[in-house]
Structure 1
């Protein structure tokens, strides 16, 4: 990301959310964005993920300029190369745990034979400690279990980058550390780069690099 700015019109006033951010992510590294509410952390993350546009600046990913892509190209990039975990798990209420992961493989257009897909799902559920809950629906899961499934869904297609926006904010301290340890272990094992927004200082020992933001600047 180079020279990233974001300005929104608030009535008659132009509000500068980001004021010229230049940042590179290293492969396999876990980077945390920290700062007060309104500092621009989540805006920067969503721009990096192609979920909203910049006002100025360019973003390059794997040699391609994301800022020059149309919406269909961005959608395809997000589906195949990015994973997402948010504060709320956002699981599909009428799908079982196993079906949540199967759906993600379909979205990412991962072509597997049935038995191969079952093996991939089995391995991922085992990794997040949810194999025994494979046939459960989200309504019967605890908050920590839902976030475990959300993590599994986010990385089952082995994305290049995991974007995590306050992934532990809805959990208590113990469950937060469990989920963060899980994110670290799985992304390190698979070489996935992670960009995370957090306000929780207890999550910082799990990351490789911390970037503080204030008033739209690093």
Structure 2
């Protein structure tokens, strides 16, 4: 089932007096339960496309449809609420709050997403998800005591604790060694399939493509 449709999306930036077109009419559909990778050289437009799809910046032209809702015509507050409730995000660095424990990181996300769960239900859900990502034994730990791979596992758990429909992952393994990268990609694939999430991944590491369902190659703002 198609969950996301990107229709003739263009993005133009002004560089002084010159307009530079970063995306040149992108068409792309994303399906439930699939992990799709955007690949291409630096400057190809893949991260720009991801941020537009996620509602983090507007397109210059075209439209982004999510569950038949048009993000390009929605008000800023509406897009913000949609991101908080339906989207999850994982980046190159975990960006964990340094003074919160692993458990508290996830509880904070539930508050941000305005979860309807009661406090005891939230704690149960946090424990369940930490077990799913292999971090239940570290729930009282602070970020400073975690390895890079552990931090990314917590970041992934935080990104899906509110049961989003879409997970956006921008270079999630770029700061990890080869073994940790494979572990994180296997985890992303397992969660995508288990929870029926639509995952859009940006990566430059070709070894990580073995864990994806679809590969979209980009160059100079177009899909090859």
Q: What TM bracket, shorter-length normalisation?
A: over 0.9
2:119 to 90, 114, 120: 114
Please report how far the alpha carbon of residue 109 of structure 1 lies from its aligned counterpart in structure 2 after TM superposition: 1.2
Q: TM-score normalized by structure 1?
A: 0.99
1:135 to 119, 140, 153: 140
Please report how far the alpha carbon of residue 202 of structure 1 lies from its aligned counterpart in structure 2 after TM superposition: 0.8
* Alpha-carbon distance in 2 for matches of 1:170, 1:70: 35
**Partner residue in 2 for 1:166:** 171
Please report how far the alpha carbon of residue 168 of structure 1 lies from its aligned counterpart in structure 2 after TM superposition: 0.4
User: SS at the partner of 1:194?
Assistant: strand
1:69 to 69, 74, 78: 74
* Alpha-carbon distance in 2 for matches of 1:137, 1:187: 27
Q: CA RMSD in A?
A: 0.7
Please report how far the alpha carbon of residue 94 of structure 1 lies from its aligned counterpart in structure 2 after TM superposition: 1.1
1:51 maps to 2:51: no
User: SS at the partner of 2:216?
Assistant: strand
1:92 to 82, 97, 110: 97
| Number of residue pairs the alignment of both structures matches | 218
User: SS at the partner of 1:22?
Assistant: strand
User: SS at the partner of 1:158?
Assistant: coil
Aligned pairs for 1:9-48 (under 5 A) are 9-48=14-53
User: SS at the partner of 2:168?
Assistant: strand
* Alpha-carbon distance in 2 for matches of 1:155, 1:202: 24
What are the superposed Cα offsets for residues 109-153 of structure 1, whole Å, 9 maximum, x if unpaired?
112122211110111111111111111111111100000000000
* Alpha-carbon distance in 1 for matches of 2:134, 2:33: 23
User: SS at the partner of 1:24?
Assistant: strand
What are the superposed Cα offsets for residues 150-187 of structure 1, whole Å, 9 maximum, x if unpaired?
00000111100000000000000000000110111112
Please report how far the alpha carbon of residue 3 of structure 1 lies from its aligned counterpart in structure 2 after TM superposition: 0.7
User: SS at the partner of 2:30?
Assistant: coil
* Alpha-carbon distance in 2 for matches of 1:181, 1:155: 16
User: SS at the partner of 2:62?
Assistant: strand
1:6 maps to 2:11: yes
Please report how far the alpha carbon of residue 58 of structure 1 lies from its aligned counterpart in structure 2 after TM superposition: 0.8
User: SS at the partner of 2:200?
Assistant: strand
The ranges of structure 1 where at least 4 consecutive aligned residues each deviate by more than 4 angstroms after the TM superposition are none
* Alpha-carbon distance in 1 for matches of 2:47, 2:16: 22
In the alignment, structure 2 segments of 5+ residues that lack a partner are 1-5
User: SS at the partner of 1:154?
Assistant: helix
In the alignment, structure 1 segments of 5+ residues that lack a partner are none
